[in-house]
Structure 1
């Protein structure tokens, strides 16, 4: 039987503006190896690194970019397809552009616009979208920031701040104000 010992640190971060309390578990698994688990409300994110190049997972986490960390902790996309109204407008603009370039006749353009009016992104008309944008239509639609991704970035920023002032500072701080 092999038994290994690791060092685990637990942080409870509370009284955050527009965020529920956050619980963080940092585990140094060995030289340049570490794991972090972050819990906020009813969601949990976790990541492991086996080549951190840092003294501890806390040092590594603090010096990383929030986008890198967000992608390590989750598969949440940074951008998502925009609202149906904005998508419909973009599709109609492309149909109009093609009409003005004489790539479509009036009847075809009107038929396509009527189909756009009936479409939602929850149930897209893929045949129409391929006709307008070709097979890579998903990459042609307008996007917006994903609120879930932005939420996780805010949590990451709070954790980084808490680590900087409570774990990595010269003297431990018992209470930290973030914001």
Structure 2
């Protein structure tokens, strides 16, 4: 029985010493590393509509006109490539050519999920009864996503007048900036 008492006493002493040693160690919480939310990837696919402001310069008269306009369009994205079409109506200030309508197609590359660089070509008309006022359009632009469904757009478009027969007769230069809401 002496052996049993000694073994139980030794076991109790071991448990007591281990408990005292554990109580002396502070409990350290495991640090939690915050996980940053994944950046949202802007979706260039689908319909969009927006507003724009800018300036148009006519090379024949060297006059410049302020403009405000509305645009509606659609895009299709294929990996980093984006194809689209757009219809726009601009109101030109301080000119008898009060409205300018244009239809364009565009092709671009998304350099980053929120940055699109593109080229555009199309046709525009100032709806004027004097002169042709029709233009073949070509230009470059950049669009930047600033929210999940909002982008800012800046572009330059050159228009070659059709039907006048003279070089630079009524060519136009148009600079615009705008904001688009993507559906």
TM-score (norm: length of structure 2): 0.32
Larger helix percent: 1
TM-score (norm: length of structure 1): 0.33
Higher CA-based Rg: 2
Larger strand percent: 2
